[in-house]
Amino acid sequence: MKEFISFGIFGNKITTLNQYEKNYKYSNSPDLLAVFFITILFSGAVLNYADMDGNSSTGFSGTLDLKDVKPFKHEIAKEVWDWFQTIPFHQMIPRQDLFLSGGYCLANEGVEYYVFAHENKSFQLFLDFPYKLQTEWINTANFKEIRMGQSVNTTTKFEPPQDEDDWILHVFKPNSK
């Protein structure tokens, strides 16, 4: 029987969630799971989450016993999925080439862009439009928390809000929301 392996793309490298946990020392961290799920979706992939330590037959934590399920992991996956349902994901394509410093970008060219740069580092987004685009920051720890940003139309260096959370930059054409 083939083993089920979840994977994502981090820094142009395909990796499993377990490898990512070892590299970043976030084992079972809610923050790691949210980052992992967001990164998979921002890479234009589909997220199929299963709470498993074993293979596809053992499920959950190596058993099929419901008492072994880890509800917080399912809640995090659902929060990310629910937020992705609010954006026009089906109209967007991955555009990591639009910015420096690593990260992930989904674009509906000329209309709106979502940029996820994990670890709250500044980044430069390459834009060139004859009209101004609005920006806002979306908190990945609480998708309802949104902070307005600056208006831009050219390549701009962005600084995420400086706190402990990861943020998604939303750049959009006025009246497109």
pLDDT value for 3: 31
Contact 52, 4 (CB under 8 A): yes
Q: Is residue 2 part of a domain?
A: no
Based on the domain organization, do 113 and 167 belong to the same domain?
yes
Domains in the chain, number: 2
User: Average per-residue pLDDT in the chain?
Assistant: 76
Task: With CA atoms as reference, report the closest residue to 73 among 129, 153, 17.
Answer: 17
Based on the domain organization, do 32 and 72 belong to the same domain?
yes
pLDDT value for 73: 75
Q: What is the DSSP letter of 91?
A: G
pTM: 0.75
Out of 84, 105, 129, a domain closes at: 84
Domain that includes residue 21, residue range: 7-84
Out of 64, 84, 104, a domain closes at: 84
Based on the domain organization, do 98 and 168 belong to the same domain?
yes
Out of 27, 61, 84, a domain closes at: 84
Q: Is residue 1 part of a domain?
A: no
Distance CA 99, CA 60 (A): 38
Contact 73, 51 (CB under 8 A): yes
Q: Reduce the DSSP state of residue 125 to 3 states and report it.
A: strand
pLDDT value for 2: 30
pLDDT value for 12: 42
Based on the domain organization, do 78 and 94 belong to the same domain?
no
Of all residues in the chain, the percent with pLDDT exceeding 90 is 25
Per-residue pLDDT tens over the stretch 51-107: 555 555 544 455 566 676 677 777 888 888 899 889 998 899 888 888 877 678 999
Residue 130 maps to which CATH number?
2.60.40
